Copies of this chain bind each other. A is one copy, B any other.
Amino acid sequence: MSNPRLSRAAVMPAANAPIEVRDFPRPTLEPGAILLETLFSEVCGTDVHLHHGHLAGVPYPIIPGHVSVVRVAETGGDVLDLDGLPLRPGDVITFLDVHETCGKCWYCTVAKASTRCPSRRVYGITYGAAEGLLGGWSQMIYLKPGVKTLRLPPNLPPQRFIAAGCGLPTSVHAIERADIQLGDNVVIQGSGPVGLNAVILAQLQGAGQVIVVGAPKLRLEIARALGADEVLDIGDYDPAERVARVRELTGGRGADVTIEATGVPAAVREGMQMTRDAGRLVVVGQYTDVGEVAINPHWDLNRKHLEVRGCWGSDFSHFYRGMRVVARYGDRFGWERMISREYSLAEAGQALADVEQLKVVKALIRP
């Protein structure tokens, strides 16, 4: 870092305003906090939504970037990792962006549905730049006391982990909800980072066939490289043909399990129709409100004996399990294939545009 007294960061000043690079003073640490040097952060679809002002209650200006790989620069006294070992300057770690899950409210304790805890805060999304270096598009990140960290194991290169990125814990959660059985036919709707991680994870559940329904070609090629058995380019088929093609590939029945990761409401009904009777559909792609879809409860749900499972956010277990899986199966699947390009802080606006136009799969920010 050129000046250890200052941290440079890319700032989203307001919805629809151009990204700016600004300098921030190096923060002083409260006990239990950690100052981090960012090795890599990423640009995800949520960042595009942030840029367009699609999320409510965002305290612009903000420093985006929720999942990052970082190096410990300084700690506020002894800070321990999950195994009780102290974190030291130089350690390469990552941290769970969603934090302040309270552990006390009704959702945390009775429903055991911590991803619906109302106290949650998210690095890179729900903090304003005025509150500190609380996003990953920055040379330095201030980690508040209690934010959960994980060390990268020695055999896991930072690029590989950030390639999996924030799509990985989301996808781990979706796969957990999907309950794939050995040999199942699995359809994945969507070929963005969540869908591509799901292509890998479905194989790590012993799927008998993985079919990806998505676009554009670039992403479908990567889906293939990651092990998808079949890919359907949505540009080549209309919705009815897609459903027909999935049935054809699955003995006429439809998928045992479908994972919707598209962001398009119509995909939910299409997913119902692509799934066999008594199968399961996980809805994990509807992170913003972009409208409604009509369903027929008789044909799509009741008669079909279908199970539809919404899936929101992720918790530390998904983050932890994702890390274990990338470390164990990294050489086999080569997550880093998903990385299309690295961008500097000054290029962050370009990165956003490229993600929005689907020119890239995974765009890294290297501050």
Within 8 A of B (CB), among A259-307: 265, 268, 276-278, 283-299, 301-307
Contacts of A251 in B (CB 8 A): 83, 106
CB distance B182 to A109 under 8 Å?
no
Whether A144 sits at the interface, judged by CB under 8 Å, is no
Of listed A283, A297, A303, A306, residue having the most chain B CB within 10 A? A297
User: Do residues B328 and A253 form an inter-chain contact, with CB atoms below 8 A?
Assistant: no
Knowing that A111-B256, A265-B296 touch, tell me 20 more A-B residue pairs with CB under 8 angstroms. Answer: A82-B109, A104-B146, A106-B251, A107-B277, A110-B316, A110-B317, A116-B305, A182-B201, A183-B328, A201-B206, A205-B205, A207-B328, A283-B301, A290-B298, A292-B294, A294-B294, A301-B310, A303-B310, A303-B312, A304-B312
Interface residues of A in 95-111 (CB under 8 A from B): 103-107, 109-111
- Give the distance to chain B from A198, nearest Cβ to Cβ, in Å: 12
CB-defined contacts of A110 to chain B, threshold 8 Å: 316-317, 320-321
> 27 A-B contacts, Cβ less than 8 Å apart?
A82-B106, A111-B276, A112-B112, A113-B277, A116-B305, A172-B182, A175-B182, A176-B181, A182-B201, A182-B322, A183-B320, A183-B321, A183-B322, A183-B323, A201-B206, A277-B312, A283-B302, A286-B297, A286-B303, A291-B296, A292-B294, A293-B295, A294-B294, A294-B295, A303-B310, A305-B312, A306-B310
- Bound complex: CA of A101 vs CA of B293, how far in Å? 35
Chain A stretch 192-242: residues in CB contact (< 8 A) with chain B: 201, 203-209, 229
Oligomer: number of copies = 4
* Smallest CB separation, A13 vs chain B (Å): 27
Residues of B within 8 Å of A317, CB to CB, are: 109-110, 112
Q: Is the CB of A324 within 8 A of B183?
A: yes
A37 at the interface (CB under 8 A from B): no
Chain A residues bordering chain B, tally (CB within 8 A): 81
The answer to whether A22 has its CB under 8 Å from any CB of chain B is no
Residues of chain B lying within 8 A (CB to CB) of residue A206: 201, 204-205, 325, 329
A148 within 8 A of B: yes
